[in-house]
Amino acid sequence: MKEYDIARNDDFRDALEHLKSNERLNMPTLYALSAPTRDNMTSFDKAWPQIQPERRRHITQNLADLAEANFRLDFRRIFRHLLDDPDPQVRATSVDGLWEDENHDLIECYCEMLENDLSAEVRASAAQALGKYVLQAELDELDAEPVHHIRVVLRDVLHDESETPAVRRRALESIAYHDHTDTREVIRTAYDAPSHLMRVSAIFAMGRSIDPFWSDVVLMELDNPSPEIRFEAARASGELRLQGAVPALIELVSDMDRQIQEAAIWALGQVGGKRAKRVLNHIIRGEDKEFARAAEDAMGELLLMEGEIGLPLYDFDLSDGDEVELRELEELDDLSDLETEEDLEEWLEDQEIEP
């Protein structure tokens, strides 16, 4: 065995000893659990039952958070192992931790969980996880047999009124990828439901469906008093590429809710257009660094999309570190339906968006 492998195994064993201890979890130590070997997993299997249930939940959640924050970390073998854990919270978190694992061997496992697991939390996570396979089916990346099974299971859950709203919501959000006339019907039924949270998921599903049929509904909901609905309507506007949503999205950039502001910035980058560029440019040059980074990402998406259709209007230059310069490459010769640069800056200042 190479010295590197010996050191690697030592680090893994040290990490397991740390997990079994009563010490506060040390995040750098958890890094040693990444990409475990089969021998490592044998040791993990022996150590895991020795850890108290509450600490096991905490460990699993931290591993999921680390994997989301750092793409270099790979805890998939651990999460797969924990799909059979006796604790429902550990099982649910493990499903969530496998969000990037698109291997088809998980389909039957998730369907089994959704149909038979006693925990609603686990069933909801499984319903959500099946969404990526519904999308694969729409992209012709999945065989017909598992596709049919997934759709049947999701629809059965969605129409099961004895099922909890949380599980039915996730089933709705996953089936929304399916490009079929029946999908409109299930989204409409959810949107008309008395449950506020079901309506929230219905608007989420409208965006995920990428169906222009829902454009008017999404535009209307951008002004909804509910923060949850405004947030989902902003996201759906971006997914549907609704040019008519730009004025409302600009207003939502100054919403009282920070998450809604960020959703509006993201959506402006998806919708694109001259007005959206100017607003994003203004935010990029502002003092709020977190918003500036979000606007930079949105502008990058916008320019990438325009580049694909051969209509780049700006060159995005990040060479000066945090200072972002946008250099106009073409004259904008039709401003008849837009504010001038000065009017737009004045309006943004009135909305307390710092220049």
Q: For residue 163, what pLDDT is reported?
A: 97
Q: Which of 159, 172, 165, 234 is nearest to 201 (CA)?
A: 172
Cα distance between residue 4 and residue 86, in whole Å: 35
Distances (CA, A) of 293 to 232, 266, 274, 281, 290: 21, 11, 20, 11, 5
Q: For residue 58, what pLDDT is reported?
A: 96
Cα distance between residue 297 and residue 254, in whole Å: 18
Kindly give, in sequence order, each residue whose CB lies less than 8 Å from that of residue 122, ignoring residues fewer than 6 positions away: 88, 91, 92, 95, 113
Residue 346 identity: E
CATH number of the 212-355 domain: 1.25.10.10
Q: Which residues pair with 132 in a beta bridge?
A: none
Question: 3-state DSSP call for residue 327?
Answer: strand
Q: For residue 229, what pLDDT is reported?
A: 98
Distances (CA, A) of 88 to 29, 78, 159, 275: 25, 16, 24, 48
Tokens 């994003």 -> residue: 280
Cβ–Cβ under 8 Å, residues 27 and 66: yes
Q: Give pLDDT tens digits for 41-73.
A: 999 999 999 999 999 999 999 999 999 999 999
Question: 3-state DSSP call for residue 233?
Answer: helix
Cβ–Cβ under 8 Å, residues 242 and 233: no
- Kindly give the residue spans of alpha helices, DSSP state H, lying in the chain: 3-20, 27-30, 38-47, 53-69, 76-81, 88-97, 107-116, 120-129, 131-138, 144-158, 165-175, 181-191, 196-209, 215-221, 227-240, 246-252, 258-271, 274-284, 289-308, 341-350
Count the Cβ atoms, other than its own, within 10 Å of residue 27: 10
Count the Cβ atoms, other than its own, within 10 Å of residue 300: 14
pTM: 0.82
Kindly give, in sequence order, each residue whose CB lies less than 8 Å from that of residue 307, ignoring residues fewer than 6 positions away: none
Q: For residue 350, what pLDDT is reported?
A: 56
Q: What is the largest CA-CA distance in the chain?
A: 72
Cβ–Cβ under 8 Å, residues 197 and 169: yes
Q: Give pLDDT tens digits for 212-256.
A: 999 999 999 999 999 999 999 999 999 999 999 999 999 999 999
Q: For residue 9, what pLDDT is reported?
A: 79
Q: Specify the length of the chain in residues.
A: 355
Cβ–Cβ under 8 Å, residues 341 and 278: yes
Kindly give, in sequence order, each residue whose CB lies less than 8 Å from that of residue 351, ignoring residues fewer than 6 positions away: 251, 253, 254
* Residue stretches of the chain with pLDDT short of 50: 1-7, 308-339, 353-355
